[in-house]
Amino acid sequence: MKKCIKYALLGMTIVPLFGRIALHGTGHEDELYRFLVPMLVGGSAGFLIGLAKDRLLDSLIQFRCILDTLPYGAIQCDGKGEVLFANRNICDLLAVKEKEFVGNSIWSYCLNDSCRLSMQRSLHQLTESGSFPGSVVSSFCTSAGQQIKVELHWACHDAPDLFYTATIIDITSQVHSQQLLMKLSQVVEHADELIMITDQHGTIEYANPALERTSGYSARELVGEKPSILKSPAQDPSAYKDLWCTISSGKTWRGSMIDRCKDGHFYPVNMSVTPILDDQNEISAYVSIQQDMSLHQELEEKLRQSQKMEALGTLVGGIAHDFNNMLAAVKGHTYLARSGLHGADMLEKRLNHIESLADQGAEMIQQLLTFARKDKVEKRLLSLNQFMLDGYKLAKTIIPDNIEHVTDFCRDPLVIYGNTTQLQQVVMNLVNNACDAVAGVERPRISCSLSRFEADESFSRAHPDLQGSSFARIRICDNGIGINKERQAKIFEPFFTTKGVGEGTGLGLAMVYGAVSAHDGVIEVESEEGKGTSFYVYLLLSDREIGKVESEADMPAVSAGGETILLVDDDDSLRTTTREVLESLNYRVVEACNGEQALQLFEQQRQDIALIITDIVMPKMGGIDLMRLIRSADQTIPVIYITGYDGGSEQAKSLGENSMVSCLINKPFSIPVLCRAIRDMLASAS
């Protein structure tokens, strides 16, 4: 009976006590006792009160210890948000003491008004519905000013008074990790690199959009497949074996591959495949990162092409020097031979032909230098009608007799500003290509026409950089094998050729394109496989009239009055020939093989020397350095620079000499031109 009374009284005491458990540890224990005493009236005051007090305090301490050891925060508050109870974890989380926290509003720790209103709405919803599914994520600000993310789980209690309890979990690190994971996901999704993830067996689990775009496969088509879906027959099979052996041993494989798109095209990649290890240090997945090297290879090819063209320019520049020296000597000997003839008409005719060939060789060198971007194109007004009549005569000599060739040149005067050598090369190359195209045709036919062309709207839209509206159009067509669309895009590239080894250099159409571009014109091609090809060259017409220009052949070689000329050139043959020519014209010549020797001779015979003719590029001392030293002593002595190198004119200009006492002549020069230059320089110095 005593036990029943004891437990009944104890139960009556503990149940309402748990409802006010927040009073413990807050300094309000007296209030707790005042609450307990009325409930114990009617019993044995001394014994029962003491017994209940001890038992309740023990229970409170134990319960508080349990709450303080929880790994998350726990609070109790009333409907206004005033904190009635807080465990140690939430106090530590907010960096506050319990005495400062209890009695204050929980809303005061919200980061901003938005967070506070969101929590208040949550409690209102909880009060109205009696239940609150899920959780609330909010932001708190600690007393130290640190922002934290928390997840709150609320519960509502209405006995004996309405109050709320909540567990509060710090999710700051989780949110940060999720945000970082989201960023990493976005990086992978938007990366230009091709990224693929497979499981430990090599089955594709993920493919990013870049891989979809490059391969042509959608992610849905790739997921569940093996990477061999991209396998290319252009790749050495041993590479795949080496890759698998490397990554299956836990190492990263790096190398180059050639993969295949969905449409069958190949694309090169630089690739790394890395194993991903789990907690047990076992391979759980593989990640492949590839870089599409198509553009890189294209740029690399352009660089190689640029280097090849640069090497070509250097080669041509070197050949030009020696070749121009030889041509200059040929022209000199031709002049000397002709000047000794008296009535030998046939021999003079042959010498004229030799000189004409030398002129053509010189023009060809100038064209090669121009193509290699080593010289400027010298253009003049010319009649395209007459050019085509004369030029096609030379071009048709390369057309075999079995090929029918037709011409149609308009009679309307078509005057352009151009260079005959380059235009001749355009016609020759196009005719030569036409001959190759019709080689296997039953009835081969080549036609060439010249006509006036007025640009229409579609032509102007296709070539917006062209100026003017009136053009001369040269059309060369054949009925040969034609050119497919893929090759049409490449035919003007240097070194691209469809001919076999030894049958072509691939420079022909590239030179045509360069020559037409140098004339501010355009070239178009129309072709269909099996139905022939037509090339159209459009050149802007000039509204100027062609005046009569005195040719070199018409310029007489002027005899001298015995003046002394210092002739400086390192080429013995050319120097000897030039000396003989000058001596035949009654000049006295002093020879030097380089700048150093010339400087000594000038110092010894300064009073006698009336003119200096010097090569620009020579061993020991060139012509520019020679004249720089001579000018320090004599500013007025005239000089004629001669050069067979490209860029010599720019070197001469860099000296900044007065044009009244200096001029430049390119090798190979004609004797009348040289003589006229000598007389002009001597006259300006007198």
pLDDT in tens, 94-119: 888 888 888 888 888 888 888 888 88
The last residue of a domain, from among 13, 33, 68: 68
pLDDT tier at 659, thresholds 50, 70, 90: low
Between 665 and 374, residue with greater pLDDT: 665
What pLDDT score does 43 carry?
Answer: 44
CA pair distance 538, 42, nearest whole angstrom: 124
Evaluate if residue 555 carries a pLDDT over 90.
Answer: no
* Residue 362: inside a domain: no
Between 544 and 311, residue with greater pLDDT: 544
- pLDDT-wise least confident of 295-304, 435-444, 566-575: 295-304
What pLDDT score does 205 carry?
Answer: 92
Alpha-helix residue ranges (DSSP H) falling in 278-344: 294-339
Q: Where are the beta strands (DSSP E) in 481-592?
A: 522-528, 532-540, 564-568, 588-592
Evaluate if residue 670 carries a pLDDT over 60.
Answer: yes
Residues 531 and 573 in one domain: no
CA pair distance 269, 255, nearest whole angstrom: 9
pLDDT tier at 162, thresholds 50, 70, 90: confident
What pLDDT score does 427 carry?
Answer: 85
* Residue 247: inside a domain: yes
Range of the domain at 36: 2-68
- pLDDT-wise least confident of 17-21, 100-104, 527-531, 626-630: 17-21
Residues 136 and 36 in one domain: no
Evaluate if residue 681 carries a pLDDT over 60.
Answer: yes
Tokens of residue 311, six digits: 């090497």
Residues 402 and 521 in one domain: yes
Question: What's the CATH code of the domain at 589?
Answer: 3.40.50.2300
Burial of 324 (0-12, 13-18, 19+ CB in 10 A): buried
Q: Are 210 and 191 in contact (CB under 8 A)?
A: yes
Phi/psi for 380 (5° steps) reads -150, 170
Q: Are 570 and 593 in contact (CB under 8 A)?
A: yes
The last residue of a domain, from among 292, 319, 342: 292
Mean pLDDT (whole number) for 418-438:
83
Evaluate if residue 504 carries a pLDDT over 50.
Answer: no
* Residue 125: inside a domain: yes
pLDDT in tens, 223-255: 999 998 998 887 888 888 889 999 999 999 998
Residues 23 and 132 in one domain: no
Tokens of residue 522, six digits: 């355009």
CA pair distance 103, 83, nearest whole angstrom: 5
Alpha-carbon torsion angle 229, 233, 235, 236, nearest 10: 120
Evaluate if residue 434 carries a pLDDT over 80.
Answer: yes
* Percentage of the residues of the chain whose pLDDT score is greater than 90: 14
Contacts of residue 63, defined as CB under 8 A and 6 or more positions apart, other chains included, come to: 18, 21
**SS3 letters for 474-499?**
EEEEECCCCCCHHHHCCCCCCCCCCC
Residues 8 and 115 in one domain: no
* Residue 6: inside a domain: yes
Evaluate if residue 597 carries a pLDDT over 80.
Answer: yes
CA pair distance 218, 675, nearest whole angstrom: 78
Q: Where are the beta strands (DSSP E) in 551-638?
A: 564-568, 588-592, 609-615
What pLDDT score does 41 carry?
Answer: 42
Q: Are 215 and 259 in contact (CB under 8 A)?
A: yes
CA pair distance 410, 389, nearest whole angstrom: 11
Contacts of residue 252, defined as CB under 8 A and 6 or more positions apart, other chains included, come to: 246, 272, 273, 274, 275
Beta pairing class for 639-643 and 609-615: parallel
Q: How far is CA 333 from CA 337, 576, 579, in A?
A: 6, 10, 11
Residues 171 and 201 in one domain: no
CA pair distance 161, 20, nearest whole angstrom: 10
Question: Tokens 């042959």 appear where?
Answer: 350
Burial of 669 (0-12, 13-18, 19+ CB in 10 A): buried
Tokens of residue 655, six digits: 């000296």
Between 163 and 21, residue with greater pLDDT: 163
pLDDT tier at 518, thresholds 50, 70, 90: confident
Q: Where are the beta strands (DSSP E) in 249-302?
A: 253-260, 266-277, 283-292
Q: How far is CA 653 from CA 372, 413, 649, 656, in A?
A: 21, 38, 6, 5
pLDDT tier at 477, thresholds 50, 70, 90: very high
Mean pLDDT (whole number) for 473-478:
92
What pLDDT score does 34 carry?
Answer: 42
Contacts of residue 323, defined as CB under 8 A and 6 or more positions apart, other chains included, come to: 361, 365, 644
Q: Which long-range contacts does 257-265 make (Cβ < 8 Å, 24+ apart)?
A: 257/232, 257/290, 258/232, 258/234, 259/215, 259/230, 259/231, 259/232, 259/235, 259/290, 260/230, 260/231, 260/232, 260/233, 260/234, 261/214, 261/215, 261/216, 262/215, 262/216, 262/217, 262/221, 263/216
Q: How far is CA 501 from CA 133, 301, 308, 441, in A?
A: 81, 20, 18, 22
Beta pairing class for 564-568 and 609-615: parallel
**Domains in the chain, number:** 5
What pLDDT score does 212 carry?
Answer: 92
What pLDDT score does 538 carry?
Answer: 93
Task: Write out the DSSP string of 159-193.
Answer: SSS-EEEEEEEE-HHHHHHHHHHHHHHHHHHH-SS
Residue 620 in 3-state DSSP?
Answer: coil
What pLDDT score does 44 carry?
Answer: 45
Residues 412 and 525 in one domain: yes
What pLDDT score does 560 carry?
Answer: 63
User: What is the length of the chain?
Assistant: 686
Residues 556 and 617 in one domain: yes
pLDDT, averaged across the chain: 77
Question: Tokens 């496989």 appear where?
Answer: 529
Alpha-carbon torsion angle 464, 469, 470, 476, nearest 10: 30
* Residue 638: inside a domain: yes
What pLDDT score does 668 carry?
Answer: 75
Work out whether the CA dihedral 177, 182, 183, 189 comes out positive or negative: positive
Looking from the CA of 662 toward its CB, the CA atoms found within 13 Å total 23
Residue 232 in 3-state DSSP?
Answer: coil
Beta pairing class for 639-643 and 662-666: parallel
Question: What's the CATH code of the domain at 160?
Answer: 3.30.450.20
Q: How far is CA 618 from CA 333, 571, 604, 614, 651, in A?
A: 23, 9, 21, 9, 13
Which amino acid would we find at residue 376? Answer: K
* Residue 586: inside a domain: yes
Looking from the CA of 637 toward its CB, the CA atoms found within 13 Å total 27
Between 269 and 337, residue with greater pLDDT: 269
Mean pLDDT (whole number) for 443-462:
89
CA pair distance 365, 422, nearest whole angstrom: 11
* Residue 363: inside a domain: no
Count of Cβ atoms closer than 10 Å to residue 552 Cβ = 13
- pLDDT-wise least confident of 256-270, 281-295, 500-514, 606-620: 500-514
What pLDDT score does 52 carry?
Answer: 61
Residues 461 and 389 in one domain: yes
What pLDDT score does 152 carry?
Answer: 84
Residues 395 and 518 in one domain: yes
Residues 384 and 457 in one domain: yes
Question: What's the CATH code of the domain at 386?
Answer: 3.30.565.10
* Residue 445: inside a domain: yes
pLDDT tier at 368, thresholds 50, 70, 90: low
Between 17 and 80, residue with greater pLDDT: 80
Evaluate if residue 6 carries a pLDDT over 80.
Answer: no
What pLDDT score does 437 carry?
Answer: 85
Residues 29 and 93 in one domain: no
Mean pLDDT (whole number) for 368-397:
69
Q: Which of 60, 77, 64, 70 is nearest to 155 (CA)?
A: 77
- pLDDT-wise least confident of 394-408, 630-644, 651-665: 651-665
The last residue of a domain, from among 229, 258, 292: 292
- pLDDT-wise least confident of 315-329, 398-412, 584-598, 602-616: 315-329
Q: Give the DSSP H/E element, type plus range, for residue 472.
A: strand 470-478
Which amino acid would we find at residue 395? Answer: A
What pLDDT score does 596 carry?
Answer: 92
